[in-house]
Structure 1
Amino acid sequence: MSTASPSAKLGAAMAARRTPEQLRARRQLVWRELLTSLWAPLCGVGLAFIPYVTLIEMAPATASWAQPLMKGFGLLMVAAFVGLLVWRNVSRKESVLRTLRHEARELLAEDERILERVKDKVPATVADRLTEQALRVESASVAGNAEALRTEVKALEALTQEHLGPYRKQSVWDFVGGFAKALLIAAVIRTVLVEPYRIPSGSMLPTLQIGDQVFVNKYIYGVRIPFTNFVPFRIVRAPQRGDVIVFNNPVDESKDFIKRVVGIPGDTVEIVDGVVRINGEAQTRTLVSPDFVVHNWDERAGQWFDQEEVLYREDLSGVVHSSLQSPMRMPGREHEGPYTVPTDSVFVMGDNRDNSADSRYNLGAPGYGVAYVPYGHIKGKAMVVWLSLGYGGLLSNLFGGTGLRVERFFEPVR
C-alpha cells in the first residue's frame, strides 16, 4: 500500500488505494445518488428541452408530434419528482443515510481544501491516516450501513480536529464562493442563453395567453451588454417578420414588452381595414371565427372576463399565426400608416390587434405617434411556453378561475 505524501490531494490519494471492486461499488453509488436526486427529473427535462427547441426552430412542422412527446416526457418527469420527494421523506433509512452521506461529503471536501492549502505543514503520516479513515468512511457509505457510517464519520471528524484543527477556520471565500459561483452561472444563463418571461396582458391573444411563461432565446439576435442596450455583434441572425420578441420598451425603459415583428428595416407598413400591407403587398389572412371568445383579465376588478373577437389566420411573410380583431372597431383605424421602418429597428404589433399598445400607438407611452424598437432594445425571441397559469386548467375552481393549463406546456410560440 502506498503512503500518501503531504502534497498529494486527498481525493487522488484515495483513488490510488481503491481496489477495482471498491471503485465499481463507488461508481454504482454515485449513479444511484444522481438518479434519485431531486435534480435528476429537472435535468432530464432540461436535457430534452434543448434538442426539442432546436428541432421546432429549425423545422417548425415537427412541432405537431414533438410537442406532445415533450409534454408527455415533462409530465413524466414531474411525476418522478413527486415520487422521489415522497420516497425521500417517507423512507426513514434513506433519509438518515442521505444526511450522513452529506455530512461525509462535506467533511471530506473540508479535509481536501485544508490539505491543499497547508500541504507543506502536514506530515506524511497524518495525511496517510486521514486517507485511510476517508476510505473507511467511503466503504461504509457504499455499504449503506447507517450505524457504521455514523461511526466512521465521527472518527474522521475527530482525526480532522486533532491534526487539522488549527487550520479549520474558513476564509470569506469559503463562505461566499459557492453562492458567488451559482450567482455567476445564473447571470450568464439569463444574459447569454435563455430567460423566462411571464405574459402579463392580453395584447398577444390568442397566440400567448395571460399567465403563460415563455422561454426567451437571448443569443439568436446577439448578446446585449448587461445594463445597456448595446449589442456588439450579431450571433445568428437579425429579427425577421413574424418573430415574437421580448424587448425593453424604448419609450419607457422601465417596462419589457412582447410583440410580433411586422416590419423590418426599410419596410413600409400599412394596415387597411385590418389587413397588414408590407411594401404595398397585402398579407393573406383567412377568417376562422366571427365570434371567437377569449379570456382576458381585469386588473382593477381582479377577475377574468370573456371577450368576443373576430379570429383570423394570418400569413405574415410565410409565418402563419392567429390574430384577433375587434368586431366593433374604433373610428380612425380603417387606415393606419404608412410607417417606414428605420435602419436597425423593427415595427411591432400585438396579435390582439385592437387591444395592443404597440408601434402604432407609441408603445403605450402618453402621447401620439409611431414608436419603433431599435435592435439594441431587443432582449430575444420567444421560443416556447414552458408553464401556463391562467384561466381554466387544473384547480381553477379553487383559485378564482386561475389554474394550471397543462395543455399549453411546451407549446411553440408561432
Structure 2
Amino acid sequence: MTSMSVPASPASLSSMMAAQRTPEQARAWHRLLWQERLTSLWAPVCIAALLMLPYTLIIEFVPAAASWAQPVMKGLGLLLVAYWLALLVWRGVSSKWRDARLAAIDLLEQNERALSKPPVREKLAPGVAERIAEQALKVEAASVRGDVGALRSDVGALEVLAEKHLITFRKESPRDFVGGFAKLLLVAVVFRTCFVEPYRIPSGSMLPTLEIGDQVFINKFIYGVRVPFANVVPFVIVRPPARGDVIVFNNPVDESADFTKRVVGVPGDTVELFDGVVHINGQPQTRESVDSAFVVHNLTDNGEWFDQRESLFRESLGGVTHSVLQTPTRTPRHEGPYVVPEGQVFVMGDNRDNSSDSRHGLGITGYGKTEFVPYGHIKGKAMVVWLSLGYHGLLHGLFGGTGLRLDRFFEPVR
C-alpha cells in the first residue's frame, strides 16, 4: 500500500531569501540594516541608556569612582548630543533616499510577518511565496546599491504582489493589536515596578543635594520589589534602607504625594537633634561647617526663583557624607527624641529648616507631629541625576529663569 506524500509548505520569506543570497549580498544587506539602526534618531538615546547601566552600578557600588566616571559620562553625553544633531541634519538632507529605503524595509517586514505563519503559506498557490522572495531580493539589491529609481520600481512591484496574495494576511487583527499593546504595557510596568523609575524633584527640601528640576533615576530593586497600591515589600533583595540613603516614597499620610528625603533613623534608633546636630542612640554624628553664607536657589509657590541664604555643613550618617543646610538665624533648639518603630524609617530633608519631613508630620499632620515612613511606602533609592531643568540653565532666558543644567548631568546622589 503506497502512501501519498504531502507537499511541504514553502519556507518563511527570510529563509527563502537567505537561501538565494550570496555571502557578499548577505553581508551588504546586514551592513545596510546596521546603518539604518545607527542613523535612527533613537540610536543616541539607546546608547545613552545602555551607558547609564554600567555607570550607575559603578557609582553606586564604588562611590570613589565618580571622580573619573562622571566626567567621562559627561563627555560621552556631549558626543551623543552632537551625534543626534548631526543625524537630524543628515536626515533632512537625505530625506528622499531615506523615505524610499524605510518604505522598502517596512514592506519587507510586513511580508515577513505574513509569511512567518505556516497556515498562511499553506493557503498560497504554488510558486507565489517564491515569487515574493525573488522580488524581495530585488528590493534588497536596489537598497544596497542606493539606486532610488530602481528601489521605487521594485518596491512597487513587490507591493502589487503582496496586495494580490497577502492583503488578507497582512491586516493586523484587533486581537493582534491588543495583544501587542498588552505585552509592551506589561514590560513597561514590570520594569518600572522592579528595576528603575524616573522621578522629578519638585521642591527645595533636599537642597543642596538635589536641586529643583533634577530628574533622578531611583533603584526599585535594592530594597525589594514593592507591591503597588498594597504598599508591602514581600522580602528584601539586597538590603533594607540604611542611614544616609536618599529615598523616594509615597507619603503614608497623603498617598497622593511622593516625597524625596534622606533616611536618618532606621528601626530601633532613637534620633535627637541638638541645634541641628543629629544624635543617633546618644551619639552625635560628625558635622563640620563649610560656609556660613551659602546661596541656593528656590522657587516660590507661583514659580518664581529666589535666592535662599543658608549655613552649609558637611554631615556624615552611616558613613555617607553629604551636605546639609541650616538657617543662620534659627533659635537653638532641641528636637526629639524620635524612636523609630520596626519596619519604618525616620526621614529628613537636607534643607533642614525648610523641609516637611518626619519631624513635621510629613507636611500633612503638622509641626510637632512625628510621622515615620513604612518600608512598604518606599519606592526606591535615588541613584543619579540623568537630566536637570533648573535655575539659570541653558536657554533660561526663554523660560522664566529655568533652563537645561548641563553641570548637573550624571550627578551621583549622595
- TM-score, with normalisation over the residues of structure 2? 0.94
The one-letter code sitting in structure 2 at the alignment partner of 1:62 is A
Counterpart residue identity of residue 75, structure 2: G
Work out the CA distance in 2 between the residues paired with 1:114 and 1:292: 65
Identity of aligned residues (%): 64
Q: CA deviation digits over 1:167-219, x for unaligned, max 9?
A: 44431144445544433332222112111111111100000111111111111
Is 1:335 matched with 2:314?
no
2:199 maps to 197
Match of 1:61 among 49, 60, 64: 64
Residue 46 of structure 1 and its aligned partner are, at CA, apart by 1.4
Pair 287,168 (structure 1): closer, same or farther in 2 beyond 3 Å: closer
**Conserved? CA contact 1:296–1:304, under 8 Å:** yes
- What CA distance in whole angstroms lies between the structure 2 residues aligned with 1:179 and 1:95? 30
Task: Give the Cα–Cα distance (whole angstroms) in 1 for the partners of residues 189 and 398 of structure 2.
Answer: 36
Following the alignment from structure 2 to structure 1, what is the Cα–Cα distance between the partners of residues 50 and 159? Answer: 38
State the Cα distance separating 1:123 from its structure 2 match: 2.8
User: Which aligned segments of 4 or more residues in structure 1 are displaced greater than 6 angstroms?
Assistant: none
The alpha-carbon distance between structure 1 residues 26 and 36, as it changes in their structure 2 partners (threshold 3 A), is same
Q: CA–CA distance in 2 between the matches of 1:361 and 1:9? A: 66
For residues 308-356 of structure 1, give each alpha carbon's deviation from its aligned partner in whole angstroms, at most 9, with x where no partner exists.
11100001121100000011225xx611111111111111000000110
- Amino acid in the other structure paired with 1:209: E
Alignment partner, residue 291 of structure 1: 293
Deviations 1:339-380 (A, max 9, x none): 111111111000000110001111011344111111110000
Q: 2:257 & 2:294 partners in 1: Cα distance?
A: 30
Offset, 1:44: 1.6
Paired letter, 2:128: V
- Name the aligned partner's letter for residue 39 of structure 2: T
Q: Aligned in 2, Cα 1:101/1:174: closer, same or farther, shift over 3 Å?
A: farther
Amino acid in structure 2 at the alignment position of 1:380: G
1:360 alignment partner in structure 2: 359
Matches of 2:188 and 2:144 in 1, distance apart? 33
1:334 partner amino acid: R
How far did residue 31 of structure 1 move? 1.8
**Superposed CA RMSD:** 1.7
2:112 is matched by which residue type in structure 1?
E
Determine the C-alpha separation between the residues in 2 that align with 1:140 and 1:297. Answer: 58
Matched, 1:241 2:243: yes
1:89-100 alignment to 2 at 5 Å?
A: 89=92, 91=93, 94-100=94-100
With over 3 angstroms needed to count, the CA separation of the structure-2 counterparts of 1:407 and 1:168, relative to structure 1, is closer
Quick one: structure 1 residues 112 and 398, their matched pair in 2 at CA, closer, same or farther if it must change by over 3 Å? closer
Q: Which runs of 5+ in 2 are unaligned?
A: 1-6
CA drift at 1:103 = 1.9
Deviation at 1:250, TM superposition (A): 0.4
Moved more, 138-147 or 104-113: 104-113
Q: 1 CA distance for matches of 2:250 and 2:278?
A: 24
Deviates further, 22-31 or 226-235: 226-235
Cα pair 2:121 2:129 within 8 Å, conserved: no
Kept in 1, the 8 Å contact 2:242–2:318? The answer is no
Contact 1:6–1:123 (Cα < 8 Å) also in 2: no
Retained in 2: the 8 A contact 1:288–1:311? yes
Find out whether 1:120 has 2:119 as its counterpart: no
> Contact conserved, 1:213 with 1:386, CA < 8 A, in 2?
yes
For structure 1, list consecutive stretches of 5 or more residues without a partner in the other structure.
none
Residue among 28, 31, 41 paired with 2:31: 28
Please report how far the alpha carbon of residue 104 of structure 1 lies from its aligned counterpart in structure 2 after TM superposition. 2.0
Partner of 1:78: 81
Q: Distance in 1 between matches of 2:388 and 2:110?
A: 43
Q: Does 1:280 align with 2:289?
A: no
Map of 1:310 onto structure 2 = 311
Q: Deviations over 1:106-130 (max 9, x none)?
A: 2222222332152221133111111
Shift of 1:13: 1.4
Shift of 1:163: 2.0
The alignment partner of 1:124 has SS state of coil
Aligned to 2:4: none
Whether 1:39 aligns to 2:39 is no
State TM-score, norm by structure 1.
Answer: 0.94
Separation in 2 of the partners of 1:5 and 1:39?
Answer: 41
Distance 2:148 2:177 in 1: 29
Instruction: Give secondary structure in 2 for the equivalent of 1:118.
Output: helix
Secondary structure of 2:72's counterpart equals helix
Q: Deviations over 1:13-46 (max 9, x none)?
A: 1112111010110121122112211122112211
The residue aligned with 1:389 is 389
